[in-house]
Structure 1
Amino acid sequence: MDRPTEWRIALLQFVVLAAAGSALLYVAVDEFAVMVGPLLLILLYRTCNVEYLSLRLEQYWAHSAVAGGADRMAQEFATDQWLHDSWVRTGAPVPRLIAVPADRLAARMAELRAAGPAQRAVPPAVRILNRAAAVLLGSVLGTTLGATLEVSTISLLWPAAVAAVLVVAFRAAVAVYNRRQVARVAAAMRTGPRDELTGMLAPPWAHRRAATIRELFRLLDAGPIPRRPPELRVIELLMVLAVAFGALAGFLLR
């Protein structure tokens, strides 16, 4: 999947979330015109973060292939000299991979699977500003919402419940889909490693090959493989908490 396709998917997600969120907001509050602006701004901000913080699809593919099939890759490199030399010329650590004992390689693959794909490196200053912006935007939406609610308002409860159910269902569906895709990529590398490794030498798959080489170095580097929570998850959590506390503050201080 190329970058324009990824952007189209991100735009589609924004449209779906904006439509669903606006519909729930319309039936939940009377001041819809006041609330819809901050809601759309937050959703747009989230969409930009998804594109900025999310890994590219070739990185997910490479992680699945290496974490699930590095041992089969090593076997193929050890028995196919042409494939061995071709990947060495691309900068891949093929001799190091072949030299790792089988039990050690299996343990590192398990550790790599547990750690997940490497997260994008975000400069500390950018990370701080981005998190501050998430808190600020969430607070604006929450405060506006809290200031418009009446003491006797209960109409917000069922839209909030519907929204929570939709979010959980969406996340569960994505998790199931992702697990299936990871299993499919790993199975392809285990059952046909030569075809997969040969295919990645073709020019159209240069990005996938480069991502695979980075994952191989990550697998073979000494020391524990670091685990970091995805920054996008942190941003989303900060926004949700800011909306909740902002709504409470707006309700109490109006």
Structure 2
Amino acid sequence: MRVNISIVDLDGDVLGFARSPDAPIFGGDVSLQKARTAVFFSQTNAATNLINAALPDDATRARPLGDYVNDVRDFLGDSTALANGIAFSDRAGGNLSRPFFPDGINGKPNGPLSRPFAQWSPFSTGLQLDASFNNLTDILAGINHDTCTSSPTLDTVKNGFQIFPGSVPIYRGSVLIGAIGVSGDGVDQDDMVALLAVDTAATTSGTGFNNAPLAIRADNISVGGGHLRYVSCPPTPFIGSDVQNVCAGK
């Protein structure tokens, strides 16, 4: 595999970065977005930070970010969503960020972090774009910014939200301490590397950190007759090996 790996703390500050030879250059930024997005949504102040985010300069083109909190809570039937400490991977957040839910089934409603399909385009995705709307329009007008996101309450995700899979939050016991993001050959492989990297490092280091406890992961959330996904790893990922389900129980 050719991957970029970013590790961040609770503030989204970079603790470590690694890049394998010939990994895609853009993956450096994407892996960091993934890690920051996972740690943002896994914190109990995620809802508050979205609600208190700066309003869009043009309300006809971007929504107040607090509206997405209401949509998530209505969609999941949980008035505490995004404030209850559920561990969100980018796979789980991405499930909620698609213009159809479940993804790919025409005629289904949009996920609560996405625009409805009739309004959706690569230039109008939902929360991902609206969080950066003010700064993006400023940049087009020649006004520079140091961050992509448009509010100090979003400094954890200062280079923007990411909805592609490939990140998991990191815990010490049941306490969130950071996140890892991976960007490389494909999102299922990215999921696998993120989850197994934390598990392997935890086993070898003996410092007490690990993946999120199974009981608080977002794949416990039931919606629409199914569950959100936490990770989706390739079934038989290793060349020359018939080992399967390598992510099970990790």
> TM-score w.r.t. structure 2 length?
0.25
Which structure's residues are more often strand, by fraction?
Answer: 2
> TM-score w.r.t. structure 1 length?
0.25
Which structure's residues are more often helix, by fraction?
Answer: 1
Higher relative CO (Cα under 8 Å, sequence separation at least 6) belongs to 1
Higher Cα Rg, which structure? 1
